[in-house]
Every structure is written in C-alpha cells, then in structure tokens.
Amino acid sequence: MKKKELILDGLSCANCAVKIEEKVKKIEGINDVSINFVTKTLKVNVDDENKLKEIEKIVKEIEPDVKVYDKDIIKNDSQKKNSKADREKRFNKKDEIVRLLYSLTIFIIAILVKEPFSLKLSLFIFSYLISGWRVLYRSFTNIKKGLIFDENFLMSIATIGAFSIGQFAEAVGVMIFYEIGELLQNLAVDNSRRSIKSLLEIRPDYANIIDDDRTYKVSPQEVSVGQLILVKPGERIPLDGVVIRGSTMVDTSALTGEPVPKTIKEGDEVLSGFVNLNGSITVKVEKEYSQSTYSKILEIVENASSKKAKTEKIISKFSRYYTPIVVFSAIALAILPPLVFGGPFKQWLYRALVFLVISCPCALVLSIPLGYFAGIGKLSKKGVLVKGGNYLETLKKIDTIIFDKTGTLTEGVFEVTEVKAYNGINSHELLKIAAYAESHSNHPIATSIKKYYDE
C-alpha cells in the first residue's frame, strides 16, 4: 500500500467533505481514508495509483468546482502559483463582502418600498438571486446527480417555500444571512489555516553547499548525506549534521523551547531549525532533508488535524444520517399536525420551513473540527506543537503539570537592572562604552546592554 495525499482545491462545503470521505472508503483497495475540510486535504493508502482517478471522479460528482492535485506532483513554483491563483479566485473576501452588501442594500430598499407591489416583489427577487444564486445552482446540479440531502437543498426548498406562501422578506433575509454565515465560516477557516502556515513558511529555503572552496545555494532537498554546507550568521541551519569548522551561538528555541542561546563548536551536533546567531560554521550533513529534525516537526504540525479526536469522529458519523432525518421530519411536521390536530396547513408548512432553515448540517459538521484546528493553530503560533486533535482532547483530563527545572518556566532573557560606575567615570558614559563595545554582538548579555542604552 502506498500513502497518498491529495489537495482538494476549492472545497467549500464541510458536509460535502464528509460525503466524499464516506464514498472513497467504499472503493476496494483503499484504506485509512481521512479527509480534512479545514486543510482541504484527503489522505489515503492505495494499492494501485490508478485508483486516484476514481477518487477524483467521486470528488467531481459531489463538488464539481473542486480541483484535485496530488501533493507529490505539485512541487515546482509555477504549479504552486496556479494553485494559489485558483484558491484566490474561488474565495475572494472583498468580492464576497461587496456582493452581500449589494444584496442587503436592495433587500432593505424592498422592505421600505410600499407600492407598487410588482416593484417590491422584483426587488426581493433580485436581492434573493444576488445572494443565493450559487446555493440554488449547487442544489439543482446535486439533485441531477442524485445527491439531494445537503445544506444547499435545505436552504433552497426552505426559501422557495417561503416565497410560495408569501413570506418574501423572510425568504430573502434567510438566504442573505445564511451567506453571511458562510462568509464568516470561510474567514474563520482561512484564519486558522494561516496560523498553521505561518509556522510552515519558516522552513529553510536554501543550503550553502561547499564545493572545491566555493559555495553556491541549492534547495535543502538536493543536499546529500556527507556533503559540506556553510551556515552564515542569521541563517537557519537547513539540515542535521556535525560542525567540522568554526564556532558560534545558536538559537534552539524553535525545537527545544530553551530561550537561552547555546554555544556550538567543532564536533558538536546541530539540528535543522537552529538559528545561527553570530559566527560562520561548516557542517557535515548526516541526514537528508526528509529525515531532518525540523522537517519531521513541520510534518507533524501539518498533519496534526488529520488525527481526529473522538468527538470529531462521532460528529462525522452522525452527520451522515442527520440531513435525511431533518428533511423527513420537516415533511412530517408540515403534513401530520393538520391531519391529526386540524388547523391551517399554511401555518404548519411555515413551521416546517423554519425547522429546515435552523437544521442546516454544515455548522454541525464544521464547528468541532474547526475548534480543534483553531486550537492547534493558536498553539503553534505560541511555539507549542500539538500532534493532533486527539492529543488536544486528552489535555482536558489533566489536573497537574510537573516541570523538571526552572528554565522551562522562565524567559531566559537578560535585562540590565542597574549600572554602577567607579574611578570617576559616570554611569551614562560607562553604559555608552559598554554598548558600543557590544554593538556587533548578538550575545544575550550584549543585546540587553544595547537595549538598556537605547541610543
């Protein structure tokens, strides 16, 4: 079995993501299927790569606008740029806000207009189509494919039903506020995704290979074990290895959490992700990029949300049955009470439509995974790496944390608290001399002196 990761570019429906996962699980020769709506990735183990075409066909059936990419193939910059352009084309925050404001303005005008009725109705319909045409289109295309039970279908029949019983304002209002909710959902997802990506983007872009006493830049993936690389001050060490020439201080906080720089000399081991602070060093590479420490950490963070918590799994399973139950319950609510208890059919139809509107499944399917993903993203920005939602869920059971040493809890940042001068020199002059003496040093004590002098 071969592990594959597919990017579902343009996936915008949480409930559809669950449907894709369930259908892919039924393909013979595929196992360990896991879809992540927030990162828009689908991970599978396949015995035959030709089955990826079947997966793409399923995705297109459920979400025709989604483009499917094999992550292993998208490696060159032009493909990445094209993929990014596609994503920006699908979700342009500014365009969405303008569209909804335009629809909302026409909706308000329609409410204020009293006569003639034809103008009022035309404005309501115009506003409805501006805000809801995509929902109606998705619903229509899904019905043609036999995919009836989704939130687009619920919103379409609820709002069209409201129009049919003369509740024009409610029909348009529901559609506008549903789309506003979708916009806020997309913004929340994008924000959480950026939190993770901000960490992933600090991976080393290049390595300085030493070849016959000259150096040139290459991608870290191109460096072989045993080759020599030069790491200059301010650069991030791209690969794991051993220092064979030079000495320096390195910032290890990204990997170890230790804020105090560590002194490195010949013969010492260095890990990818360390930041070289003040001296050039030559490193003999001992691990290729895919096996390097920092690459492994980034992989853990990138794949953290694929390890689903128990709550997420329960919600995903429940959502399969949720929408059909809602639809049939709404039909029963519209038909049975008038027959059993009497009363106007129109009143019960109205209640059934309200029931449909408040029962859209996307919020249910998305809320819990997004909560975990947002938590992982927020923690990663703080420098705390969580390997998955299942581990995050375990934290709620902890009542005691024991730390092994004080350095774990302190910042390790030096600070000048007082200057004492002797032999006739004043304290300001002494501080100035010390600051100028340390002006080219990145040592923590030097940094604290320069910060205190602040001139």
Active site residues: 404
CA 21 to chain centre: 19
Q: Which helix (H) or strand (E) holds 191?
A: helix 168-200
* Strand pairing report for 30-36 and 41-46: antiparallel
Q: Which helix (H) or strand (E) holds 207?
A: strand 207-211
Cα gap 157→149, rounded to integer Å: 11
Q: Is 312:372 a contact under the CB 8 Å cutoff?
A: yes
Closest of 426, 449, 429 to residue 439, by C-alpha: 449
Q: How many helices (H) and strands (E) does the chain have?
A: 15, 13
Three-class HEC string of 386-416: CCCHHHHHHHHHCCCCCCCCHHHCCCCCCCC
Q: Is 28:94 a contact under the CB 8 Å cutoff?
A: no
* Strand pairing report for 281-285 and 275-276: unpaired
Q: Coil, helix or strand for 23?
A: helix
CA distances in angstroms from 75 to 3, 207, 287, 386, 430, listed in the order given: 17, 18, 21, 26, 55
Cα gap 325→37, rounded to integer Å: 23
Q: Coil, helix or strand for 451?
A: helix
Q: What phi, psi does 256 have (nearest 5°)?
A: -105, -20
Three-class HEC string of 222-254: HCCCCCEEEECCCCECCCCEEEEECCEEEECHH
